[in-house]
Amino acid sequence: MKIKTSQLYKLIIYFFITWDTILLSVFNFNPGGKRYSVMVLSAIAISLMIFVLKRNKMYMDLFKWPKVYALLLSFMLLIHYIYDVLINKVNINAFMHNACYYAIFFMAFPMILIIEKDEENFWKFINILMFIWYTWFLVQYLAYQNGGILLAPALKSGELLGNSIRDGSIRLEMKAIAHIAILYNFDQFYNHGKEAGKKRKYNLLMFLYGLFVMVVIEQTRGYFIAIFGAIAVLILCYNRNSKKFCITFCLVIIGIIILLKTNVIGGFLSSVLDSSESYEKGATGLIRLRGMAVFWEAFKRNPLFGLGFQTTGDNAITQSGIFYFNDDGFVGIVGQIGIWAFIIYGMMLLRFTYIVVKLFKIKQYTKGTQLLGFLVYLFLTSISLICYWNTTCMLCPILWAIFEVGYHKGMTSCAINIRH
């Protein structure tokens, strides 16, 4: 039985997404700690094949801006390789470890093919994967809270244990793709009427399941703010009649009461206002501010290169102590790669903003509103989180694919309407 190349791309990408979520967090499947190296090399090889095989106008249009972004990323990594490895003798493993978080973007090209061909099927796969993952989170949470039992090999080996057990409770961090799935399911439920039928109810259940896991089990402050901020913007865009607004208002009040009763807000505020200078309870507000000051000073000292890719971890060793790039959002990567952060991250935000504005201009409100939710999430996570580290880097290629395909389909639909 012959397998089409498009099906092969799909199988590989779906396997990588599964590997980065369930296979890693449950089974600790990460041979030699090189999973992102394998993904990046495979993505580059697949992308080159796509450029050769897919040369019609539609794909040329879809790949236009992702290609520009890929060239910028490649140039940035080449410059940093020369400066970090060849000039400053940084360990090549440290460079490769950090470079992979940026180069994983090359997965955007096969993802564009997959989503353009069948976006609904792509989200169906993501939801099935998320259901399994949410359930695993819930089972592990209940097992530990009620008997101190650790089920995952990764937790038993201690590799993830340090970041997972705090104040006698277990915290399991979801990948950013899980947060995008929460927003997608909210959009599908809230923006579609009764004609959607059972699918709408399914989206509601998946939204509530994901939200529960994020608030109760993950407990990451930055994601909490980003998700609820994006949902608030989506609600504002969707509410065009008073009845729907009243229902939404009641649901928000009920949600706030539940959060107050479960002390989620109290725990959130205490962690933000905690003056501790230790990472034992996670990155407190004070630690993040100190880290931002250190990274900004590093940028001012060396605006072209920043601190560079100096360690095999996600941290920077400075005279002021050890700070984590990922805990300080955009300022963290400014400290890491210098002025290139403004160019690379700025281009992505500007391109996504242009797409959203354009879709609203041509009255493609449904897709435009959905993408606006994703964009708000991206903006808000830029404050204290970023899509260039181990739990979030898969977000970059996925969002590029979703936005470019959404833009292309919106423009095509507009052109058809004009002709008719």
CA angle 19, 24, 26 (to 5 degrees): 120
Which residues make beta-bridge pairs with 316? Answer: 323
Q: Which DSSP helix (H) or strand (E) runs through 317?
A: strand 315-318
Name the token pair of 67: 């290609």
Q: Quickly tell me which residue has 């799935």 as its tokens.
A: 181
42 to each of 3, 36, 52, 55, how far by Cα in Å?
Answer: 18, 10, 16, 20
pLDDT value at residue 389: 78
pLDDT value at residue 271: 52
pLDDT value at residue 74: 94
Rg (alpha carbons) of the chain, rounded to whole number: 22
Along the 420 residues of the chain, how does pLDDT read in single tens digits? 455 777 888 899 999 998 888 777 677 666 655 778 888 899 999 988 888 877 777 778 889 999 999 999 999 999 999 998 998 888 888 888 888 889 999 999 999 999 999 899 999 999 999 999 899 888 888 888 887 777 766 665 554 544 566 666 777 778 888 999 999 999 998 877 665 667 888 899 999 999 988 888 887 777 888 898 898 888 888 765 556 666 666 666 666 665 555 555 555 555 544 544 544 444 556 777 787 888 888 889 889 988 888 765 555 555 556 677 767 788 888 888 899 999 999 999 999 999 999 999 998 888 999 999 999 999 998 887 788 877 788 899 999 999 999 999 988 877 766 665
Burial of residue 91 (CB within 10 Å: 0-12, 13-18, 19+) is: middle
Closest CA to 185 of 134, 149, 136: 134
pLDDT value at residue 393: 85
Which residues fall within 8 angstroms of residue 135, CB to CB, at 6 or more apart? none
Calpha distance 391→413 (Å, rounded): 35
pLDDT value at residue 317: 56
pLDDT value at residue 386: 81
Calpha distance 167→170 (Å, rounded): 8
